[in-house]
């Protein structure tokens, strides 16, 4: 069978990138007492690699580790985790040596974050003219358009604002009947609208093209997606899997958790990277896909949705071996 | 600096005058007629408020409230700020807006670029105020919207910017004749509105107010990037030892703080006026002077769906602070008359600028 998508790997930690072989390695299942203390991020690393391996082998007769086309490096939700220039240089060098397409993922940013990104764009502009940048902030898009026009732009998943919520990832949501006669019709329309975006509008597509946008990133969403819908968008689509973005904040609850008397930690204040030490987990009596509060964002594990998505005709599969934090 | 607040059909028409007298200078409203709710219900609102009583539902109601506001010589804006509209929703929204063209709004509050382009294309040439839903977190975003749209009114800055960040953006805006609006009191949310894609509304509850979120648990991350080698080595004892150390560190810090800093007991005034505090959520009164000094045009009080009596009290407090030439933090605290309330966790901007 003809290969349907190009495989790209999305990594936020330079150590994981420089040890890509290890990052993509499936190791023998550890003893139960170790599995018990492994966090879901690590468990999903192994189970998603197995899924990916089986899929590529079964449908394309390919091994994933020899068929990686490119690397997405960076971060999309927290400007404190924007890579340093040194790490960016290492990442670009690594990709150049291994002939990977290089894509820098960028978050939404306040004024300081914008300054950090300018330094990275200056470097890319001079040293990696063929690179791509994922934008999740229209200000960043404007900066690229006006100062770095040679850099290729990908519209990030945070700018495609389709609804998603862990609580309704497997269970349905309730529909209020205030003043509504035909609930069935509303339900049908809602299901349709949950897959629809302004990207369907020709005027918006034209606008994005005029801003140099060449591709789009889409999360693996539990409401499903059909080929007809995303073909209407008129851009090649990169599917982000198996970690789906849900929500995030510039007032970080994780960073605040160890700070006495503080409810939130503003992004603008010095960060001690508590996101590398612990996460929040959720429990619910509802049937739902697992979700985690890692860093300043909530993430949904959509590994199990690969069957619905992998053969839809996406241009790239952007595989996240770990939650990109 | 003006005060802008939302109103809806849960507010009685004769309350408009009382709001104006208390100090509201501008209003914003949502409009979800039957044409929309029959198609998409309340969960997929056309303005990110998923509740029937946060909206006006008929053209007659809407025209009536706009007329009342106009008679008070105040401005009124219409929210058209859903995150996304598909093709059918866009056409429906344009049809709805076309049907109310004769109702004179001072502008739309918008966040989605697709609908902004369609509004422009279809001859809706009134101001477009850029909602927090658009995420104007930096100067470049202001430039982006100004360079691409002719009729930008003002920008509503996201609630999660710090005071220093607001100052930085506001000084640029003042130099470039860009108009800004900020949040200063009342409802606050854990997440950034512009990047929060979860469900809201009374029936499905907000994700951030759900039991699932409320009872989240902290879990230490015991492994680093060499975890695959570490588990191959197979020494779970050392890994188990790391866990309580991190958990204890977290528990001890919090417990020690709250044992040393007990919250003051509520005053008699506070107990008698709990309705004000219930409406307030968070307070940023002591930041208003800075906002004024930096040339910010308006401060938003999100009061829709709250009690009229509490709302009036909040608006009056806000107006007093705006009118006062030098409203110190103590001046604001005296207005609030609640040492219990004025603490770090109730502060809109986390730490007052005066510190």
Token pair listed for B250: 């977290």
**Residue of B209, B213, B207, B202 lying closest to B43 (CA atoms):** B202
Spans of all domains in chain B = 2-203+279-346
Q: Do B140 and A140 touch (CB under 8 A)?
A: yes
Q: Do B86 and A113 touch (CB under 8 A)?
A: no
Write out pLDDT tens, residues B193-234.
Answer: 999 999 988 888 899 989 999 889 888 888 888 899 888 776
Residues 6 or more apart whose CB falls under 8 angstroms from that of B60 comprise: none
Write out pLDDT tens, residues A253-286.
Answer: 998 887 777 778 888 888 989 899 889 999 888 8
Maximal CA-CA distance, chain A: 63
Please give the Cα distance from A92 to A226 (Å, whole number): 35
- pLDDT value at residue A183: 92
- pLDDT value at residue B225: 86
What is the DSSP track for B254-293?
Answer: HHHHHHHSPPPPPPHHHHHTHHHHHHHSEE-GGGHHHHHH
CA dihedral B174, B178, B183, B189 (to 10 degrees): -120
SS (H, E, C) chain A: CCCCCEEEEEECCHHHHHCHHHHCCCCCCCCHHHHHHCCHHHHHHHHHHHHHHHHHHHHHCCCHHHCEEEEEEECCCCHHHCCCHHHHHHHHHHHHHCCCEEEEECCCCCHHHHHHHHHHHHHHHHHCCCCEEEECCHHHHHHHHHHCCCCEEEECHHHCCCCCCHHHCCCCCCCCCCCCCCHHHHHHHHHHHCCCCHHHCHHHHHHHHHCCEEEEEEECCCCCCCHHHHHCCCCCEEEEECEEEEEECCEEHHHHHCCCCCCCEECCCCCCCHHHCEEEECCCCCCCCCEEEECCEEEEECHHHHHHHCCCCCCEEEECCCCCC
Chain B residues whose beta carbon lies within 8 Å of the beta carbon of residue A39 = 219, 221-223
- pLDDT value at residue A147: 97
Nearest Cα of chain A lies from the Cα of B140 at a distance, in angstroms, of 4
Q: Which residue is closest to A268 within chain B, CA to CA?
A: B162
Which residues does residue B6 pair with via DSSP β-bridges, in sequence order?
A: B28
User: How many angstroms separate the Cα of A226 from the Cα of each of A65, A283, A313, B178, B313?
Assistant: 28, 30, 9, 42, 51
- pLDDT value at residue B167: 97
Please give the Cα distance from A94 to A81 (Å, whole number): 20
| CA A306, chain centre distance (Å) | 15
Mutation choice for B interface testing from A157, A163, A228, A279 by most B CBs within 10 A? A163
- pLDDT value at residue B355: 39
Please give the Cα distance from A157 to B195 (Å, whole number): 10
Cβ atoms within 10 Å, residue B226: 12
List chain A residues with pLDDT less than 70.
Answer: 1-2
List chain B residues with pLDDT less than 70.
Answer: 234-236, 242, 249-264, 343-344, 350-355
- pLDDT value at residue B231: 81
Residue keyed to tokens 């490096």:
A73
Long-range contacts of residues B323-330, Cβ cutoff 8 Å, at least 24 apart: B326/B289, B327/B285, B327/B286, B327/B288, B327/B289, B328/B286, B328/B354, B329/B286, B329/B354
Please give the Cα distance from B292 to B1 (Å, whole number): 6
Which helix (DSSP H) or strand (DSSP E) does residue B154 occupy?
Answer: strand B152-156
Interface of B with A in 84-143 (CB under 8 A): 84-90, 112-115, 117-118, 121, 134-143
- pLDDT value at residue B353: 43
Which helix (DSSP H) or strand (DSSP E) does residue B37 occupy?
Answer: helix B34-40
Which residues does residue B220 pair with via DSSP β-bridges, in sequence order?
A: A278
CATH-assigned architecture of domain B2-203+279-346: Alpha-Beta Barrel (3.20)
Please give the Cα distance from B331 to B152 (Å, whole number): 36
User: Would strands B179-183 and B298-301 be described as parallel, antiparallel, or unpaired?
Assistant: parallel
Please give the Cα distance from B154 to B137 (Å, whole number): 14
Please give the Cα distance from A200 to B56 (Å, whole number): 28
- pLDDT value at residue A89: 98
Mutation choice for A interface testing from B163, B192, B352 by most A CBs within 10 A? B192
Which helix (DSSP H) or strand (DSSP E) does residue B80 occupy?
Answer: strand B75-80
* Residues in chain A, total: 325
Please give the Cα distance from B352 to B329 (Å, whole number): 8
- pLDDT value at residue A4: 79
Nearest Cα of chain A lies from the Cα of B275 at a distance, in angstroms, of 23
Question: Do residues B266 and B243 make contact, with C-beta atoms less than 8 angstroms apart?
Answer: no
Q: Do A198 and B165 touch (CB under 8 A)?
A: no
Could you give the ipTM of this predicted complex?
Answer: 0.96
* Domain boundaries A6-245+302-319, corresponding CATH code: 3.20.20
Token pair listed for B25: 């200078």
Helix (H, G, I), strand (E, B) or coil at B6: strand
- pLDDT value at residue B86: 97
Average of per-residue pLDDT values in chain A: 94
Token pair listed for B207: 């994700």
Chain A residues whose beta carbon lies within 8 Å of the beta carbon of residue B197 = 161-165, 245-247
Question: Do residues B115 and B80 make contact, with C-beta atoms less than 8 angstroms apart?
Answer: yes
Interface of B with A in 233-292 (CB under 8 A): 234, 236, 239-240, 243, 246, 249-250, 253-254, 256-258, 261
- pLDDT value at residue B185: 85
């Amino acid at each position: 069978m003809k290969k349907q998508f190009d495989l790209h790997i999305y990594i936020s930690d330079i150590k994981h990138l420089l040890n890509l072989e290890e990052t993509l390695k499936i190791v023998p299942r550890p003893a139960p007492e170790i599995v018990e203390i492994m966090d879901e991020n690590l468990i999903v690393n192994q189970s998603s690699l197995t899924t990916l391996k089986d899929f590529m082998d079964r449908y394309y007769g390919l091994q994933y580790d020899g068929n990686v086309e490119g690397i997405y490096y960076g971060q999309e939700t927290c400007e404190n985790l924007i890579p340093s220039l040194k790490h960016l240089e290492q990442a670009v060098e690594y990709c150049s040596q291994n002939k990977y397409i290089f894509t820098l993922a960028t978050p939404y940013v306040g004024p300081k974050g914008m300054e950090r990104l300018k330094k990275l764009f200056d470097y890319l502009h001079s040293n990696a003219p063929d690179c791509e940048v994922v934008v999740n902030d229209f200000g960043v898009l404007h900066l690229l358009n006006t100062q770095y026009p040679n850099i290729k732009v990908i519209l990030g998943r945070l700018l495609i604002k389709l609804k998603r919520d862990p609580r309704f990832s497997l269970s349905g949501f309730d529909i209020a009947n205030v003043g509504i006669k035909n609930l069935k019709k509303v339900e049908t329309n809602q299901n349709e609208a949950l897959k629809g975006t302004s990207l369907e509008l020709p005027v918006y597509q034209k606008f994005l093209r005029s801003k140099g946008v060449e591709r789009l990133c889409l999360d693996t969403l539990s409401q499903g997606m059909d080929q007809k819908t995303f073909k209407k968008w008129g851009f090649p689509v990169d599917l982000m899997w198996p970690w789906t973005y849900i929500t995030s904040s510039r007032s970080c609850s994780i960073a605040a958790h160890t700070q006495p008397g503080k409810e939130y930690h503003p992004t603008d204040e010095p960060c001690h990277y508590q996101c590398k030490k612990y996460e929040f987990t959720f429990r619910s009596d509802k049937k739902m896909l697992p979700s985690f509060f890692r860093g300043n964002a909530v993430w949904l594990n959509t590994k199990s949705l690969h069957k619905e998505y992998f053969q839809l005709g996406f241009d790239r599969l952007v595989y996240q071996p770990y939650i990109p934090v | 600096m003006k005060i802008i607040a939302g109103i809806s059909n849960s507010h009685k028409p004769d309350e408009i005058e009382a709001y104006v007298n208390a100090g509201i200078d501008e209003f914003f409203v949502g409009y979800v007629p039957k044409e929309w709710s029959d198609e998409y219900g309340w969960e997929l609102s056309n303005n990110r408020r998923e509740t029937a009583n946060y909206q006006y539902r008929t053209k007659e109601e809407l025209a009536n409230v706009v007329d009342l506001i106009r008679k008070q010589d105040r401005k009124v804006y219409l929210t058209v700020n859903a995150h996304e509209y598909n093709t059918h929703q866009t056409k429906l929204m344009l049809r709805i807006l076309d049907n109310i063209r004769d109702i004179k709004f001072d502008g739309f509050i918008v966040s989605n670029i697709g609908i902004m382009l369609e509004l422009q294309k279809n001859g809706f040439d009134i101001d477009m105020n850029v909602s927090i839903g658009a995420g104007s977190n930096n100067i470049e975003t202001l430039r982006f919207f100004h360079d691409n749209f002719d009729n930008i009114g003002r920008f509503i800055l996201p609630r999660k910017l710090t005071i220093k960040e607001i100052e930085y953006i506001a000084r640029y805006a003042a130099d470039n004749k860009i108009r800004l609006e900020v949040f200063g009191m009342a409802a606050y949310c854990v997440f950034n509105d512009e990047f929060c894609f979860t469900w809201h509304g009374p029936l499905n509850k907000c994700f951030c107010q759900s039991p699932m979120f409320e009872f989240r648990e902290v879990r230490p991350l015991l492994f680093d990037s060499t975890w695959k080698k570490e588990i191959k080595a197979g020494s779970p004892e050392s890994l188990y030892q790391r866990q309580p150390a991190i958990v204890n560190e977290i528990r001890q810090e919090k417990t020690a703080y709250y044992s040393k800093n007990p919250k003051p007991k509520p005053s008699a005034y506070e107990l008698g006026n709990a309705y004000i505090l219930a409406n307030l959520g968070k307070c940023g009164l002591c930041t208003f002077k800075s906002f004024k000094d930096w040339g910010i045009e308006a401060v938003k009080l999100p009061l829709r769906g709250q009690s009229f009596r509490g709302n009036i009290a909040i608006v009056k407090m806000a107006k007093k602070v705006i009118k006062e030439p030098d409203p110190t933090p103590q001046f604001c605290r005296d207005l609030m008359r609640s040492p219990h309330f004025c603490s770090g966790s109730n502060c809109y901007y986390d730490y007052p600028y005066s510190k």
